[in-house]
């Protein structure tokens, strides 16, 4: 038997908003951590951060169908609600919000949020409609929960910038905070999709971070991006990755392509397959 009390679960907006209103009346500071479940230590770091900046924490779990393409892993995306709720209880979360798909997207739902520029290229180029699905569901979650702060992992760095831009452009009254990526001791970024990796792929996977870190080092040493990226791509292919969907150096704020770090902080971002598993990662430089 768990020694942790269970976390209150809300599956509809009205009771959740009644709870949020009660907290607000008590001057509580509310932090939302949106997730798709399959929680791991990376999510728990978000919950821990939430606890330090707010007095109440709501975690949402919703595997959002509109951000998956027709040939992507929506149907096999790992779902384990019982284990997730136990982890949220241990993490001291005050409420779990698990909306039904039919409540998020009722019949006749016809609105999409499109965020230009930061959605373009990188994952946006290879996952058409993905960021529109993310921006739409996150906008809904923010409107439903009305938190003071919402936390997102930096592992999905383009997603974080898309959400920041949507929140800014639509005047949504919330602070968006990115939380640094949690890594395995060998450098592999924690991800719900790591569980798809076979043992040999798991052994190869840390090369992705190693290559990104090597490019970041070169950039900080004043080298131009293009040759570093070409060497990095070759190193990934030699390590068994393929296809490498992208490996790029971008401005950390606008995500515009940049030739080096002379214009300010950059991110080195990559997406690459190992077998049938698609891994993404990024590191800061400059």
Q: Which of 84, 94, 154, 156 binds ligand PAF (CB under 6 A)?
A: 156
Token pair, residue 107, equals 């019949």
Contacts 24+ apart (CB under 8 A), 16-25: 16/58, 16/95, 16/97, 16/144, 16/145, 17/144, 17/146, 19/95, 20/58, 20/145, 20/146, 23/55, 23/56
Q: Provide φ and ψ at 105, rounded to 5°.
A: -130, 75
The region of 33-41, 75-83, 169-177, 207-215 touching ligand PAF under the rule CB under 6 A is 33-41
Strand-strand pairing, 9-10 and 277-285: unpaired
Q: Which of 34, 54, 206, 218 binds ligand PAF (CB under 6 A)?
A: 34
- The CB density around residue 67, as the number of other CB atoms within 10 Å, is 21
- Residue 122 interacting with ligand PAF (CB under 6 A): no
Whole-number minimum distance, CB 133 to ligand PAF, in Å?
8
Token pair, residue 235, equals 């190193």
> Which residues on neighbouring strands pair with residue 47, listed in sequence order?
none
Whole-number minimum distance, CB 64 to ligand PAF, in Å?
4
Q: Fill in the per-residue mask, 38 to 67: x = in contact with ligand PAF (CB under 6 A), - = not in contact.
A: --------------------------x--x
* Class of residue 221 by CB neighbours under 10 A (exposed 0-12, middle 13-18, buried 19+): exposed
List the catalytic residues: 43
- Residue 138 interacting with ligand PAF (CB under 6 A): yes
Whole-number minimum distance, CB 116 to ligand PAF, in Å?
19
The region of 120-128, 130-138, 194-202, 251-259 touching ligand PAF under the rule CB under 6 A is 130-138
Q: Which of 30, 137, 149, 228 binds ligand PAF (CB under 6 A)?
A: 137
- Residue 35 interacting with ligand PAF (CB under 6 A): yes
Whole-number minimum distance, CB 230 to ligand PAF, in Å?
30
- The CB density around residue 184, as the number of other CB atoms within 10 Å, is 14
Q: Is the CA virtual torsion 124, 186, 252, 36 positive or negative?
A: positive
* Chain residues that interact with ligand PAF, rule: CB under 6 A: 34-36, 64, 67, 134, 137-138, 156, 159
């Amino acid at each position: 038997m768990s020694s942790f009390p269970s976390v209150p679960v809300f599956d509809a907006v009205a009771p959740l908003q009644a709870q949020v209103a009660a907290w607000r009346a008590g001057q509580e500071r509310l932090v939302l951590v949106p997730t798709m479940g399959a929680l791991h230590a990376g999510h728990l770091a978000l919950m821990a951060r939430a606890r330090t900046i707010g007095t109440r924490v709501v975690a949402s779990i919703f595997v959002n169908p509109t951000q998956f393409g027709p040939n992507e892993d929506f149907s096999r995306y790992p779902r384990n609600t019982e284990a997730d709720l136990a982890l949220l209880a241990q993490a001291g979360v005050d409420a779990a919000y698990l909306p039904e798909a039919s409540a998020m997207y009722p019949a006749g739902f016809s609105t999409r949020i499109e965020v230009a520029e930061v959605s373009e290229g990188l994952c946006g180029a290879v996952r058409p409609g993905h960021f529109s699905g993310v921006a739409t569901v996150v906008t809904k979650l923010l409107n439903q929960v009305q938190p003071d702060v919402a936390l997102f992992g930096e592992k999905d760095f383009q997603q974080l910038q898309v959400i920041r831009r949507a929140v800014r452009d639509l005047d949504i009254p919330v602070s968006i905070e990115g939380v640094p990526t949690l890594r395995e001791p060998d450098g592999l970024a924690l991800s719900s999709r790591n569980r798809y990796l076979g043992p040999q792929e798991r052994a190869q996977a840390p090369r992705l971070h190693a290559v990104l870190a090597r490019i970041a080092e070169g950039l900080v040493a004043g080298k131009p991006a293009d040759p570093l990226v070409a060497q990095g791509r070759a190193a990934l292919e030699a390590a068994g990755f393929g296809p490498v969907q992208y490996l790029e150096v971008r401005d950390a704020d606008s995500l515009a392509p940049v030739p080096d770090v002379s214009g300010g902080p950059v991110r080195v971002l990559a997406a690459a397959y190992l077998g049938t598993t698609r891994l993404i990662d990024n590191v800061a430089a400059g």
